[in-house]
Amino acid sequence: MLRTLIAAGALALAPIAAAAHDTGPSDAQIAHIAYTAGQLDVAAAQQALKKSTNPEVRAFAELMARDHAAVNDQAVALVTRLGVSPEANPTSTALTEAAAATHDRLETLEGAAFDAAYVANEVAFHHTVNTALAGTLIPHADNAELKALLETGLSLFQSHQAHAEHLASSVR
């Protein structure tokens, strides 16, 4: 199951790699990708808070919702101040489609099966997004403030991935 989630995440971010062979994504596209990823993780956390009764999973979901919403608030403030309009692109669309499919699949699960699948998805999602941040989004960001926000987000999201990996060992 985890391999399927990682593969879906990698496919969702494949347009980034394709764009990187050209000039890379623009700051407006990067902003949209980053914001979309954050919103999708907030939605996943809300689903976990609705379905899970496991205190550790719920605490993790609360952290995801709070942290990703806070980073997105900072991103909105930055693009507003800079006058940048985030631009939808194949990557943000693919992320949204993959997240919808994952949401629907997780919706059919209950109890420990849901918890394990949610946490496995969080590991895969953070791995995929962190790889894209480090390998493509940060290097291609032209605006120094956007780059700094992405770097701060990467540090935070790497800790999320480590937390999810640790949690995964207890919710099998």
Q: Which residue has the tokens 């919702």?
A: 65
C-alpha dist (Å) from residue 23 to 2, 16, 73, 130, 151: 32, 11, 28, 20, 20
Q: Which residue has the tokens 């919103």?
A: 39
Question: What are the helix and strand counts (H, E) for the chain?
Answer: 7, 0
- CATH superfamily entry for domain 2-17+25-168: Ferritin, core subunit, four-helix bundle (1.20.1260.10)
The pLDDT of 67-75, averaged and rounded, is: 96
What would the pLDDT profile of 2-45 be if each residue is shown by its tens digit? 444 444 454 455 444 444 445 799 999 999 999 999 999 999 99
What would the pLDDT profile of 93-119 be if each residue is shown by its tens digit? 999 999 999 999 999 999 999 999 999
Q: What is the pTM of this model?
A: 0.87
**Higher model confidence: residue 78 or residue 1?**
78
In whole angstroms, what is the distance from residue 84 CA to residue 61 CA?
30
Query: Closest Cα to residue 71, out of 44, 36, 102?
Result: 36
In whole angstroms, what is the distance from residue 96 CA to residue 154 CA?
20
So where are the chain's domains?
Answer: 2-17+25-168
